[in-house]
Structure 1
Amino acid sequence: MRRSFFVFLIIFFTLTLCSCTNTGRQLEPLRTETVDFDINTAAQMVQKGEKIIADISLKDTVTRDEFNQFLAALDEAYNGYEDAQWEYMFFYNEEFEDEQSAVLHLNKDMFYPTIYHKDVEIVSAQIKNEYYQDESFNNSILTIREEYLGEDNKLKGWYRECLYKKNDKDEWVFYAFGGQINFGEEGITSDYLGLK
């Protein structure tokens, strides 16, 4: 009796666990729509962070305080986005990691295109809305796309997308980049393109 009870339990748990496996189906939206977003408002949103970057790229060195202010300003402009690791992109880690270094040199072998540079423009701003049967899955993503529109062969085809989602207050907040963020190859310097 006891043995058959354990066999029954094993079969029951096995069937229960097997029925809980993922079927591999993805949740598909019922409806998707794409709507244009005001390009001037999009420019203002992008300018917030890119002005900070364009300004610091003109410098050769900064103080430790300026470095900390730069990181805090970008943290605010990009809503705490951490994947970019701004300090490693714009500065030399052996300097900023050394707390004794009062003056930090900017990485002049890296170029971060901004809409303040010649031939870099915002070419589109669109909201993609996805609607699901369960409304808690509904989603809206604002994509602002910047492109290099000039003739330089090293920059041709370059684009970067700034992606935003709405927060609980119904405000657009930055959450990710798409495309290529910056350049760090042979012959590229922080002043590779002039400012407008």
Structure 2
Amino acid sequence: MLALCSAVTAFAPTPVLVRPASSSVAVQMKVGGLIGDCAPLAYFDPLGFSKDASPETMKKYREAELKHGRVAMLAAWGMITQDAWHPLFDGKLSANPLLAIIQTPKLGVIQILIFIAFIEVIGILNTRRADYEPGNFLGSSQWETGETWENYQLKELNNGRLAMFGSIGMLVGSYITGKGPIEVFSISTVVF
């Protein structure tokens, strides 16, 4: 009889640890009071840059991460929309983003570089202010206060991280296939 009981308990499910449900993700701060510790990655620092960094250095790292994340979000959006629709060039540029860079008119490239230089100068001047927070380019933190602003910052940080991986993935896909991001999905045969 005892042998039968132990056989039955071998297939019984293990008890589940029940935690109270939370209505929102708690925003936590990790290094230097900067937002960025969230599920599922916890504090995202795979190469250990923050291990021995000072708070000033961490602010520079966060500024760079936010800037690259914002550029990657625009790049991902731009690669998809220019592949499907572009009102100014009417199909004159390639859907492949790597070829579209080369096909852009010289004056267009000059305008892009001037705009980048303008944004960089404003960014450098902003970072010299003592009260400057990383990524607070336009002073938008005055629009929202408290926990909602911290949630917006966390969402922007995570979306920027995702966009960095996504835009790199689209560029690699365009390099390998020679097609734009949307054209890749129209391939009828998938080879693994």
- With normalisation by structure 1, the TM-score equals 0.26
The answer to which structure has the higher helix fraction is 2
More strand by percentage = 1
Structure with the larger RCO, 1 or 2 (CA within 8 Å, 6+ apart): 2
Q: Normalised by the size of structure 2, how large is the TM-score?
A: 0.26
